[in-house]
């Protein structure tokens, strides 16, 4: 086996390496074709505008949309805020009721909580032990005054995928707008806003090998034509929905990343799924009591969230410092609270605290996976050897029945 270069990056759900082909495409727009896309009276502006429109078509093609339905943003957090707050305010005459799910990303949960403080009512759907919503519960929750249903394509911590087409059909039949945070799904799961009847969809370039700080929001323009109250005013850029000078270099990079994601889709998915399966099989073969969290079938191909009973996740991460992984979700991992997503599945604190998210990408190799499996197994066994709880379990003691005394 060839020597593996460390540190090894297995945190592709937090961000991905910018593909060298994307970087190459962006370079001229920093210093040669540096015009402002809103400058309509000279060739520098025309060149920039043309590049932005090509990228718009490339991003639209990735999700089955029309180029005119793509609004540029700084990333999915802004896209989610614009979609949720923008639609809630635009349609509040119809009603002030919104629906989402307890396992959404904070970039959906926090705008919803913000709207609750403004007097909107939010229904928070629960999930089963695999992180799936109940479509019957969703159908029951939609009311005549429901304006927006916001449900992600796939979860960023456990990878569980929601049935988008069924959700889209349900929302359409009941006259509610369907917003989908597809941040983790782009380039990893088929997305088709027409077939899946999605009205608003959020994307972030850096999750599919593009640059950070640029994203897009798909806004349906017919059946129904969706309108949004803007969050940012000043100049009326992006059909009045998002003013501000466009990040031309970032947009060009996002367009190229979207083109590659579409072109390499089958190969990318097959590659990361094979690596993920290799990782899971390797770990479970040596640590049969490890638990893979989420839905075993309906999930992202590149992500594996594994709990290692009787081992503290943070200790394990420190023990495998040659590997970049995360415990909980990267955006909230400064907190020592166990992951709210894992708690929503009904995992106890102990199991939630012992979980690690591995997320593979285009640039990972089988050699890296084998190295990581070996390292993780050795470290788990070492930590367990020091754990009095593990010793008790080995002696056949049921820890849930133990009466602990506090001195």
C-alpha–C-alpha distance, residues 6 and 281, integer Å: 22
Question: In this structure, how many other beta carbons lie within 10 angstroms of the beta carbon of residue 290?
Answer: 21
Active site residues: 331
* Intra-chain end-to-end CA distance of the chain, in Å: 52
- Across the beta sheet with 215-219, the strand order is 70-73, 215-219, 200-204, 177-181, 146-150, 97-101, 121-125
C-alpha–C-alpha distance, residues 99 and 79, integer Å: 17
Tokens coding 340: 């709210």
- Tokens 């917003």 map to which residue? 179
Instruction: Please tell me what DSSP assigns to residue 284.
Output: H
Contact 210, 21 (CB under 8 A): no
Contact 164, 172 (CB under 8 A): no
Contact 190, 160 (CB under 8 A): no
Q: Which residues in 90-125 are b (16+ Cβ under 10 Å) and which e?
A: bbbeebbbbbbbebbbebbbebbeebeeeebebbbb
């Amino acid at each position: 086996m060839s020597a593996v270069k460390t540190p090894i990056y297995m945190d592709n759900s937090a961000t991905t390496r910018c593909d060298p082909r994307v970087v190459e495409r962006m370079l001229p727009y920093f210093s040669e074709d540096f015009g402002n896309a809103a400058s309509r009276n000279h060739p520098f502006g025309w060149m920039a505008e043309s590049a932005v429109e090509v990228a718009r078509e490339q991003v639209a093609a990735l999700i089955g949309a029309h180029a005119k339905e793509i609004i540029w943003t700084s990333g999915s957090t802004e896209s989610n805020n614009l979609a949720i707050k923008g639609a809630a305010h635009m349609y509040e005459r119809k009603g002030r009721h919104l629906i989402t799910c307890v396992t959404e990303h904070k970039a959906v949960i926090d705008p919803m909580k913000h709207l609750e403080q403004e007097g909107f009512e939010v229904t928070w759907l629960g999930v089963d032990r695999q992180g799936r919503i109940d479509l019957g519960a969703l159908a029951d929750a939609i009311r005549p005054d429901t304006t927006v249903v916001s449900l992600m394509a796939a979860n960023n911590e456990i990878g569980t995928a929601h049935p988008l087409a069924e959700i889209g059909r349900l929302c359409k039949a009941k006259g509610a707008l369907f917003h989908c945070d597809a941040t983790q799904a782009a380039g990893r799961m088929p997305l088709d806003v027409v077939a899946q009847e999605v009205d608003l969809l959020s994307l972030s370039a850096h999750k599919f090998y593009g640059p950070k700080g640029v994203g897009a929001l798909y806004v349906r323009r017919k059946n129904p034509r969706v309108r949004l109250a803007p969050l940012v005013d000043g100049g009326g850029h992006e059909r009045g929905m998002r003013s501000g000078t466009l990040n031309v270099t970032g947009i060009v990079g996002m367009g190229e990343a979207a083109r590659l994601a579409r072109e390499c889709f089958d190969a990318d998915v097959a590659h990361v799924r094979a690596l993920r399966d290799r990782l899971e099989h390797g770990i479970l073969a040596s640590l049969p009591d490890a638990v893979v969290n989420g839905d075993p079938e309906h999930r992202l191909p590149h992500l594996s969230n594994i709990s290692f009973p009787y081992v503290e996740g943070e200790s394990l991460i420190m023990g495998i410092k040659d590997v970049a992984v995360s415990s909980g979700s990267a955006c909230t991992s400064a907190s020592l609270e166990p992951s709210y997503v894992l708690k929503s599945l009904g995992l106890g604190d102990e199991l939630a605290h012992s979980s690690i998210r591995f997320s593979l990408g285009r640039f990972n190799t089988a050699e890296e996976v084998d190295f990581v499996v070996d390292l993780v197994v050795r470290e788990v066994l070492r930590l367990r050897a020091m754990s009095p709880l593990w010793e008790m379990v080995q002696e056949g003691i049921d820890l849930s029945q133990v009466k602990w005394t506090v001195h």
